[in-house]
A and B are shown apart, each in its own frame.
Chain A
Amino acid sequence: KAGVTQTPRYLIKTRGQQVTLSCSPISGHRSVSWYQQTPGQGLQFLFEYFSETQRNKGNFPGRFSGRQFSNSRSEMNVSTLELGDSALYLCASSLFQPNTEAFFGQGTRLTVV
């Protein structure tokens, strides 16, 4: 059974640009959640989706957005990139709600220069 796949693994972008990250959950999982990990702020919850609906959102500015498709794949988008957006972005999938066991991908390392 394939795990959670995040693409790309590494990304370098310039300030002001926008970026889209992709997450393919484990087959059959309907819940996808996103997290940002930085040395300064640690692990922070971004948002979660279940059956294409955003169920919860963390405390991040509107530049951070996401969506989930009918096949449960999810994308997150960051517009007008800032240097502080440099981070490891992790995606997790769960069978139902994230309260159940969540499986994480290896993350996308975003560097903003």
Chain B
Amino acid sequence: QSALSQPRSVSGSPGQSVTISCTGTSSDVGGYNYVSWYQQHPGTAPKVMIYDVDKRPLEVPNRFSGSKSGNTASLTISKLQAEDEADYYCCSYGGSDTWVFGGGTKLTVL
């Protein structure tokens, strides 16, 4: 069971949109609609932003959206704001009652 693949870093200017990818296999991302995304600011615990591929908790702004195509899931953040600067991690069900995380992506708001 290998970690999901994410770009190490992405960046964007305020007001722009960015997309973070999360690539797995047919045994995890591609096999189930159980992908979630977490935002982590330095020194704090991760916070769920998207779950079950495209569901958004009530407290998360609708600027955050999720999708999946094949073995790759994506998190899109529109209308970037300074407070969006953080690390983002994807997580997928890996089968056999196991879960796997991505390596994380550092988002820089320019």
Do A and B interact with each other, yes or no? Answer: no
Residues of A bordering B, CB below 8 Å? none
B residues touching A (Cβ–Cβ < 8 Å)?
Answer: none
